[in-house]
Amino acid sequence: MFIDERPAVTIEDESDRYRAPALDKGLDILELLARIDGGLTQAEIAKALGKSPNEFYRMLDRLVRRGYVQRQDGDRFYLTLKLFGLAHYHAPVRRLVSFATPLMREFSNRAEQACHLAIFDRGSVVVIAQQDSPTYWGISIRVGAQINLFNTGSGHILLAFRDEKQRQMMINEQRRQQDEENDQPPADLDDRLRVLRDKGFETMDSLQTNGVRNISAPILAMDGNALAALTCPYIQPVNPNAPTYDQVIDYVREAAKQISETVVGTVDTSEL
């Protein structure tokens, strides 16, 4: 009797025919770093994956150059926020804008001021929606504009309402995208963010335009982290019947809360 002793072709064997070893190495590195706090050295990555360090040198170099991984503290590698941005940017941003737009319009009509919505995306604060003032004057920022994380109300909000790990990653991303020597966080930034988080909103004179005072409040996810920042570039109106500055602060906070609740449901801020 003839017995065919050749191994049967399994589904797993069939799939192995299409393996891309270099891609597998890159995905292994990303998945490993995603599970680790504090980063890993090249040798630690190799040990965790059961490979030699030389097998990962070129792959790590490419991941760093493409912005998925960053190298700090000499030879320690960390995952950046780029994958988060790729995974969450398009459809969720469209959903956020679609829910926020009518509430932003309602705010502008009520406050007689313009407003815009911004998120953090791969090293920059990006404006994703903008609503003009219903009056014949106002300040507007074009959709798609990139603004600084360290010296804007929107940036401060996005930093303050993130956990410590995310905040540090955002700061590193901003510095990596900009001129690191000339784009340092202010010395008092940590103290300011603590105050801001306790207060729940930010007010500051614009460092880009004279006569404008920015009022910003967070759009919060269920875990209390900021999805976005709603900002009103407030201009003092001549009309004595226009809403006052303090009223506009309340309107910004109310609008931000309404957007949060509309997008993700009621947010519990009792432990923030």
Q: Both ends of the chain: CA-CA distance in Å?
A: 75
pLDDT of residue 272: 38
pLDDT of residue 85: 61
Q: Which of 231, 224, 232 has the alpha carbon at shortest distance from 264?
A: 224
Low-confidence stretches of the chain (pLDDT < 70) are: 1-18, 84-91, 177-183, 265-272
Q: Interhelix angle for 57-65 vs 21-34, to 10°?
A: 70
Contact of 148 with 158, CB cutoff 8 Å: no
Contact of 124 with 177, CB cutoff 8 Å: yes
Contact of 156 with 193, CB cutoff 8 Å: yes
* Cα→Cα distances 197→28, 108, 163, 200, 219, Å: 37, 25, 11, 5, 13
pLDDT of residue 265: 59
pLDDT of residue 179: 58
> Does the predicted TM-score (pTM) go above 0.75?
no
pLDDT of residue 132: 94
DSSP tally for the chain: helices H, then strands E: 10, 9
Contact of 25 with 48, CB cutoff 8 Å: no
pLDDT of residue 133: 92
pLDDT of residue 263: 80
pLDDT of residue 12: 46
Contact of 231 with 206, CB cutoff 8 Å: no
- Cβ neighbours, 10 Å, residue 158: 26
pLDDT of residue 235: 92
Residue 237 host element (H or E): none
